[in-house]
Chains A and B, each alone.
Chain A
Amino acid sequence: ECSDLKPPCPYILPCLHLSVGLSVCLQESSSQTTKGAKSARRKRLKPCSLREVEVTVGELGLGYDSDETLLFRYCSGRCTARRRRNYDIALEHTRRAGLIKKGRRDKVQYSPCCRPIAYEKDISFLDNNSRYHTVQEVLARECGCA
Chain B
Amino acid sequence: MKLFYIIRCHKVLFLVLFPVDEVGITTLNRCLDAAKACNVDETCQKLRTEYVSACIQPSARSGPCNRARCNKALRKFFDRVPPDYTHQLLFCPCTDMACAERRRQTIIPACSYEDQDKPNCLAALRICRNDYVCSTITPNYLDNSTSNVGPWCSCSASGNHREQCDDFLEYFHDNICLSDQGSPTGLSNR
Footprint of B on A, CB under 8 Å? 54, 67-71, 122-126, 128, 130, 132-134
B135 at the interface (CB under 8 A from A): no
B residues within 8 Å of A by Cβ? 3, 29, 32, 35-36, 39-40, 45, 48-49, 52-53, 55-56, 98, 101-102, 105, 108
Contact across chains for B48 and A124 when beta carbons are under 8 A apart: yes
Would you give 19 A-B contacts (Cβ < 8 Å), ordered by A? A54-B40, A67-B32, A68-B32, A69-B36, A69-B39, A71-B40, A122-B49, A122-B53, A124-B52, A124-B53, A125-B35, A125-B39, A125-B52, A126-B35, A126-B105, A130-B102, A133-B56, A134-B49, A134-B56
Question: Which residue from A70, A126, A132 sits with its C-beta under 8 Å from B40?
Answer: A70
Known pairs A71-B40, A134-B52. 16 more at Cβ < 8 A? A54-B40, A67-B3, A68-B32, A68-B39, A69-B32, A69-B35, A69-B39, A70-B36, A70-B40, A123-B39, A123-B49, A124-B49, A126-B105, A130-B105, A132-B52, A132-B105
Closest 3 A/B residue pairs (Cβ): A124-B52, A69-B36, A70-B39
In the complex, the number of residue pairs spanning A and B with C-beta atoms less than 8 Å apart equals: 49
A70 touches B45 (CB 8 A): yes
Residue of A nearest to B37 (CB): A69
With a CB–CB cut-off of 8 A, which chain A residues contact B55?
132
Residues of B within 8 A of A125 (CB): 35, 39, 52
Question: Nearest CB to that of B53 among chain A residues?
Answer: A134
List residues of chain B with CB within 8 A of the CB of A71: 39-40
Q: Given A69-B36, A132-B56, are A126 and B49 also a contact pair (CB < 8 Å)?
A: no
The smallest beta-carbon distance between A137 and chain B, in angstroms, is: 13
Enumerate chain B residues within 8 angstroms of A67, measured Cβ to Cβ: 3, 29, 32
Contact residue among B3, B36, B53, B56 (Cβ-Cβ distance under 8 Å from A68):
B36
Nearest B-chain residue to A129, judged by Cβ: B101
Give A133 to B105 CA distance when docked, in angstroms.
13
Give the chain B neighbours of A134 by CB distance below 8 A: 49, 52-53, 56
B7 to chain A, nearest CB (A): 10
Q: Which residue of A lies closest to B108 (CB)?
A: A132
Give Cα A120–Cα B53 distance, bound, in whole angstroms.
14
